[in-house]
Amino acid sequence: MTAKPAKRWLGFVQEHATIYDDDLVPGSKILAIGDAPQSHVNLAQPEIVFYEYLARIANHLEVLRTSDRPLKMLHLGAGALTLARWASVVYPASTHVAVDIERELLDFVLTHLPLPDSCELRPLVADARAVLQEELSEEEFDVIVLDIFSGPEAPEHLTTSEYYAELKNSLSAEGLLFVNIGDDPPLDFTSSQVRAAETVFDFVMLSSSPEMFTKRFPGNLILTASKQRIPEEDVLRCQSAGPYPSEVRHSVDLDRFSKP
């Protein structure tokens, strides 16, 4: 029997958040804001990541960091905390900080989608840039996931090379930054974010399905940035990890893509 959807008004975005059953995946829930589905959570099996862009981040991380040691992760843009739940299984004993500017959203998600007992998470209500300079100014993270962008309407102060420099400063020496970028043709916003990241990080790669690199379709791309160069064999492993079909570009191939 399908449970009645839960609803909460979000004062910052002036929309309703709704959590409802995914009737196609038993034990799963969908978080929507307004009319747009935002996150998918498999409460019964949190190690399964359903949405393609989140699965791409998870797969990249599994290629680039072994599961034999816990990670300290920062989630900027909390959503339904899908990757924190996933990492609590795949990277046991990891710790998480989740930041969202929408005060009601964090409480709503944690109330109606309880975290696994093994997931150690600290929620913070804050701006995704200010929090690096204030509450988290003395902390470093192994992984930062920035999941706020949805095309050109993204908050401008989160799109600059200066912000990428602050993100880099919040990473450990071997830390990884993952940025989910939603964009529409001709993907000018994505190109601007690649250029901003490349001014700061030693290595930047962009991942999606091959058709996204034609710049003719709307969708999501994952920007991965690192203080250290990622070996070519690991880049190829990221591409092979999927979701399929998968394409990863970096260096000269990425420069060609991001030219104005």
Q: What is the mean pLDDT of residues 149-172?
A: 89
Q: pTM of the prediction?
A: 0.95
The amino acid at 188: D
pLDDT tens profile 238-247: 999 989 899 9
Does residue 1 fall inside a structural domain? Answer: no
Q: What is the mean pLDDT of residues 201-227?
A: 96
What span, in angstroms and rounded, lies between the C-alpha atoms of 25 and 54?
A: 17
Q: What is the CATH number of the domain that holds 145?
A: 3.40.50.150
Distances (CA, A) of 192 to 11, 148, 200, 227, 260: 30, 15, 13, 19, 8
The SS3 of residue 130 is: helix
Specify the DSSP class assigned to residue 160.
S
> pLDDT at position 151, please?
62
Does residue 174 fall inside a structural domain? Answer: yes
Contact between 116 and 139 under an 8 Å Cβ cutoff? The reply is no
What span, in angstroms and rounded, lies between the C-alpha atoms of 149 and 180?
A: 7
Distances (CA, A) of 71 to 54, 84, 205, 254, 256: 17, 11, 21, 28, 34
Does residue 20 fall inside a structural domain? Answer: no
Lowest mean pLDDT among 57-71, 74-88, 124-138, 150-164: 150-164
Does residue 29 fall inside a structural domain? Answer: no
Q: What is the secondary structure of 45-85 as a DSSP string?
A: -TT---SHHHHHHHHHHHHHS-TTS--EEEEES-TT-HHHH
Q: What is the domain extent for residue 175?
A: 49-258
> pLDDT at position 1, please?
54
pLDDT tens profile 67-124: 999 999 999 998 999 999 999 999 999 999 999 999 899 999 999 999 999 999 999 9
**Higher confidence at residue 27 or residue 232?**
232
Does residue 181 fall inside a structural domain? Answer: yes
Per-residue confidence at 216, pLDDT binned at 50, 70, 90?
very high
Does residue 18 fall inside a structural domain? Answer: no
Q: What are phi and psi for residue 106, nearest 5 degrees?
A: -60, -45
Does residue 31 fall inside a structural domain? Answer: no
- Structural domains of the chain, count: 1
Does residue 95 fall inside a structural domain? Answer: yes
> pLDDT at position 13, please?
83
